[in-house]
Amino acid sequence: MLTLASKLKRDDGVRGPRASNPASDSTRRVSVRDKLLVKEVAELEANLPCTCKVNFPDPNKLHYFQLTVIPDEGYYQGGKFQFEIEVPDAYNMVPPKVKCLTRIWHPNITETGEICLRYQQHSV
């Protein structure tokens, strides 16, 4: 599944500790986001509850995936909800963009599926 992880290891082996050609080194450089995602996707897959399934349309792009949630309890029990998740280049300074593909009424999800997770402080 983690083809990007094997690619990262392979690129490190080819490059060695120091590359002699700086131009080729910059073309092989892997983003911090991708290095973080390799670890986080492995952890996600190991700890994902049975009510959730992750789908990577392109296994070489860990920054884009889909999540399906099928709750087995609560108000949304029996529903099937699909989300699209895209992790920006500036991750972990910028949060992932999440969009709900299933039409649902929820106070944090707009009619177009945009998700708002901002904390709103109320004055007393």
Q: Find the CATH number of the domain harbouring 74.
A: 3.10.110.10
Q: Is 116 a catalytic residue?
A: yes
pTM recorded for the entire structure: 0.70
DSSP assignment string, 79-102: --EEEEEE--TTTTTSPPEEEE-S
Alpha-carbon span 32 to 39, nearest angstrom:
11
Look at residue 50 and tell me if it is in a domain.
yes
Look at residue 6 and tell me if it is in a domain.
no
Angle between the 32-47 and 3-15 helix axes, to the nearest 10 degrees? Answer: 140
Look at residue 106 and tell me if it is in a domain.
yes
Domain that holds residue 52: 32-120
Indicate the helix (H) or strand (E) that contains 32.
Answer: helix 32-47
Summarize pLDDT for 35-85 with one digit per residue, the tens.
Answer: 999 999 899 889 999 999 999 999 889 999 999 999 999 999 999 999 999
Summarize pLDDT for 11-27 with one digit per residue, the tens.
Answer: 555 555 544 444 444 44
Residue 33: name the closest of 10, 58, 62, 9 by CA: 62
| Both structure tokens of 31 | 């983003």
The active-site residue, picked from 50, 52, 100, 116, is 116
Alpha-carbon span 40 to 36, nearest angstrom:
6
